[in-house]
Amino acid sequence: MAESVNSVHRGLAGLFDRDQKRPLLLGLLICLHIVICAASLRISFPFYRSEYVMYDPAGLTNAIAATAIFCLIAPLFVFTRFSFGYLCGFYLFTMVAGFLWLNSFSKLQYDHVAAGISAGLSCLTFLLPALLITPRIGRPFEISERSFERILYVIVAFCLATSIAAATYGFRVVAINDIYQYRAELQFPTALNYAIASTMTVLIPFAYACFALRHRYWMAAAMLAIAISFYPSTFTKIALFTPAWLLCMTLLSIFLGRIATILSLFLPVLAGVLLIITIGEPMRRYFGIVNARMLSVPSVAMDVYNEYFAQRELTHFCQIWLLKPFVSCALKQQISVEMNSTYPLGFLNASLFATEGIASVGLWAAPLVTFACGLVIGFGNRLSAGLSERFILISAAIVPQVITNVPFSTLILTHGLWLLFLLWYLTPRTLFGGPAEP
């Protein structure tokens, strides 16, 4: 069976393995992706009823022009190699493209032209280091596969223990529409909060990838079961949908890494557009979860943060608990709580473009901050260099969902991005058979 899977992988990958086909195919996919995303945002206006997802025919020309100009940086995704930065960068690129589209119709009060220019420059300064810094970092020592296997089983035990610990604070199977009511009642200890976030974002996908790509399917299935076991105790959509997402990324990984990255966002959004057009109201839940939550909300957050901090003092990074004692802070509570009290969108966290950028330093310094964040992602590229594209894609599968929805500092510290970097560095380059990739 394993040989059959490998044969299918080689065959499908070979369809796109000719150099002359790659740029054309990638360029076509990216263009189609942007068009479908624009269509999804347009459809969101009547189908996802929110005053923050607007559309006005009078602004259509500006929306098309702004998005088209921004897409001049899309060739970066055509002519760079796959990496962790490619995976994160494409999702953030899509988020900024969505913001530029919505920015043309937004009724919120801020300098829309300046915000659009800042967003485009911020994305470019993030992508340059995130896509181009890829050389392998020196590894003075390499642990044996047997030692790594022990680490892997420690990870499995930690994930299971964390799930059990979370369940001791409450375990209830509830409908997805009711999760916000029960989530507000949760009071986990700080250490357990960190453990849950790191387990869901990093440890479960990493262990799953290790098992699945070595054809140890029972252990891979066990990791999926542990993932979904967090749902009745944390009431998060990420716990509910992680198993399905990891399986989808595993299937997509039979393609080359760059194509798989684009398809991982393009196909779910395309499905939502087709379903809402052809079937309509019965598909509202799918459209709301995928097209609205995964695509629209991160872009809407940039729109909202622009208005909020155009009228208030910047945070100067005081929202980061490590820095809060050293800087003055106008915030009386967490940004997400401030947003919830000001806008009817819930506890709206947002990406590095909105938090470390717009909120912390303002529009014109934001590109410098995103460049620094891109350097961190580039460092992750170096630590993962030599690992297979499939392994990087699957083990980091949840990170793009997180990086578009939480501050960069939260991704690193709370969700354990630093831990993923460390695990990539420790992973033997021959773990999945054959020599390490260049």
Please report, in tens digits, the pLDDT of each residue of the chain (438 residues total). 455 445 545 544 444 444 545 788 899 999 999 999 999 999 887 655 455 778 888 889 999 999 999 999 999 999 999 999 999 999 999 999 999 999 999 989 999 999 999 999 999 999 999 999 999 988 888 899 999 999 999 999 999 999 999 999 888 888 777 777 777 778 889 999 999 999 999 999 999 999 999 999 999 999 999 999 999 999 888 999 999 999 999 999 999 999 999 999 999 999 999 999 999 888 888 998 899 889 999 999 999 999 999 988 898 888 887 777 777 787 777 888 888 778 877 778 899 999 999 999 999 999 999 999 999 999 999 999 999 999 999 999 999 999 999 999 999 999 999 999 999 999 998 887 654 455
Residue 54 lies in a domain: yes
Q: List, in sequence order, the alpha helices (H) in 71-216.
A: 75-79, 84-103, 112-132, 145-167, 179-183, 190-198, 204-212
Handedness of CA 89, 152, 253, 350 (dihedral sign): negative
Residue numbers of the domain that contains 72: 2-139+250-426
Nearest to 202 by CA among 409, 403, 417, 377: 417
Q: Which residue has the tokens 């098309």?
A: 64
Query: In this structure, how many other beta carbons lie within 10 angstroms of the beta carbon of residue 284?
Result: 16
Residue 146 lies in a domain: no
**Cα of 201 vs its chain's centroid, Å:** 10
Residue 153 lies in a domain: no
One-letter amino acid for residue 311 of the chain: Q
Residue 104 lies in a domain: yes
Structural domain count of the chain = 1
Residue 150 lies in a domain: no
Residue 233 lies in a domain: no
Residue 245 lies in a domain: no
Residue 212 lies in a domain: no
